[in-house]
């Protein structure tokens, strides 16, 4: 542990620790924060820096933006394939472990892929690949 937080130190000063609810609540919050710190440290230890500009420019790989056309609906979408910690669907950044990413990896412009997703099969044509 990193020692007592200011909050738990203040609560400790209020008297008998056996009956000090504020102190115990502060210690519990401190434990939760330490668990979050440990998780982040573990995640960072397993990260690898990949420069997408050094990967094959003609195929779908990690770090690339991919524009696709849904052959069933005609809708055009663009995704960026990123790591799990970077995923943000509001920015169309999807993690490399999603079914869509897995289905698109190693494909080229003009390829059509059928991907099983929870809502059914998606048939996507790759229109563009970029950084």
pLDDT at res. 8? 60
Rounded Cα distance, 103 and 27, in Å: 46
Assign residue 90 a region (left: φ > 0; alpha: ψ between -120 and 50; beta: otherwise).
alpha
Q: Considering the domain boundaries, does residue 87 fall inside one?
A: yes
CATH code of the domain containing 125: 3.10.50.30
User: Is residue 4 predicted with pLDDT exceeding 60?
Assistant: no
User: Is residue 46 predicted with pLDDT exceeding 90?
Assistant: no
CATH code of the domain containing 39: 1.10.287.180
Which of the four pLDDT bands, split at 50, 70 and 90, describes residue 7?
low
The β-bridge partners of 112 are 125
Q: Considering the domain boundaries, does residue 1 fall inside one?
A: no
Residue 76, domain extent: 52-130
The alpha-carbon radius of gyration of the chain (Å, integer) is 23
Rounded percentage of the chain residues whose pLDDT exceeds 90: 57
User: Is residue 14 predicted with pLDDT exceeding 70?
Assistant: no
Q: Specify the number of domains making up the chain.
A: 2
The β-bridge partners of 58 are none
Mean pLDDT of the chain, nearest integer: 86
Task: Looking at the structure, tell me whether residues 56 and 38 fall in a common domain.
Answer: no
Residue with tokens 């009956």: 19
Rounded Cα distance, 62 and 105, in Å: 8
Query: Among candidates 54, 78, 74, 64, which has minimal Cα distance to 106?
Result: 64
Rounded Cα distance, 1 and 4, in Å: 8
Q: Considering the domain boundaries, does residue 118 fall inside one?
A: yes
Confidence (pTM): 0.63
The per-residue pLDDT for range 92-116, each reduced to its tens digit, is: 999 999 999 999 999 999 999 999 9
């Amino acid at each position: 542990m990193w020692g007592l937080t200011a909050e738990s130190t203040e609560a400790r000063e209020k008297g008998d620790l056996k009956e000090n609810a504020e102190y115990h609540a502060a210690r519990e919050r401190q434990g939760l924060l330490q668990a979050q710190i440990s998780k982040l440290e573990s995640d960072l230890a397993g990260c690898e820096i990949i420069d997408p500009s050094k990967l094959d420019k003609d195929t779908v790989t990690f770090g690339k933006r991919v524009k696709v056309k849904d052959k069933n609906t005609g809708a055009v979408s663009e995704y960026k394939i990123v790591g799990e910690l970077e995923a943000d669907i509001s920015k169309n950044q999807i993690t490399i472990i999603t079914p869509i990413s897995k289905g698109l990896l190693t494909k080229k412009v003009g390829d059509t892929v059928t991907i099983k997703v929870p809502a059914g099969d998606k048939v996507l044509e790759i229109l563009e690949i970029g950084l």
